[in-house]
Amino acid sequence: MKYINEIIVVDIETTGFLKQQGLIVEIGMVKLNLETGKRTIMYDELVKEEGFDKRHQHAWIFQNSDLCFEKVLKAHPLDYSLLQELFNTYPATAYNKRFDFDFLNDRGLKIKELDCPMKLSTTLCKLPGYYGYKWPTVQEAYNFFFED
C-alpha cells in the first residue's frame, strides 16, 4: 500500500438534500499534510449551479449561517475541471462524507475516497444515542480529541 502524506478535506454547503434537488452553493477544500499538520487552502468559493434562482432564497443555509443568497446569485459556476484535478491528485475525505461526496459524485466527479472521520470517531467518542453510539458533531469530536 502506498504511503499517503497529503490529503484533501472537503466541505460543501447546499440549498438542501440531494434527493430534494439541492444545489451546491459553497465548496471549501483544504490540503492537509499528515506529517506536519500544515494546511493549505486549495479551493474556497461560493458557486452558482445551474438552476439556482430566487426560489432558493429561503433555503435553510441562508437562514442559519452567514452565507448570503445575493452573493451566491452573483457567484461563478462550479469549476469542475479544477475540482477533478485536485481529486485526481489527492485522496479526500469530509466530515459526514456521504453528504458531501454524494453531491460531488452526482456532478460526475471521481474521488479517491478515504474513510469518513465522523464514522471513525463514533466508536472513539462513545456519545450515547438512541440506538448505541451517535455520530458526533464536528464540535463534539473536536472537544473529545483536542480539549482538556
Query: Could you list the mean pLDDT of each consecutive 10-residue stretch along the chain, which spans 148 residues?
Result: 86 96 97 94 97 96 97 96 97 97 98 96 93 93 84
**Nearest in space to 26 (alpha carbons), one of 83, 109, 110, 87:** 83
- At 145 the pLDDT is 87
Query: Do 86 and 22 belong to one domain?
Result: yes
Write out the residue range of the structural domain in which residue 133 sits.
118-148
Residues 123 and 59 in one domain: no
Is residue 22, in this structure, part of any structural domain at all? Answer: yes
Does the residue 133 lie in any domain? yes
Predicted local confidence at residue 80, as pLDDT: 95
Same domain, 38 and 86: yes
Residue 74 sits in a domain of what CATH number? Answer: 3.30.420.10
In whole angstroms, how far apart are CA 141 and each of 28, 34, 97, 131? 20, 18, 15, 19
DSSP 3-state of 93: strand
Same domain? For 72 and 140 the reply is no
Give, for 28, the enclosing helix (H) or strand (E). Answer: strand 24-33
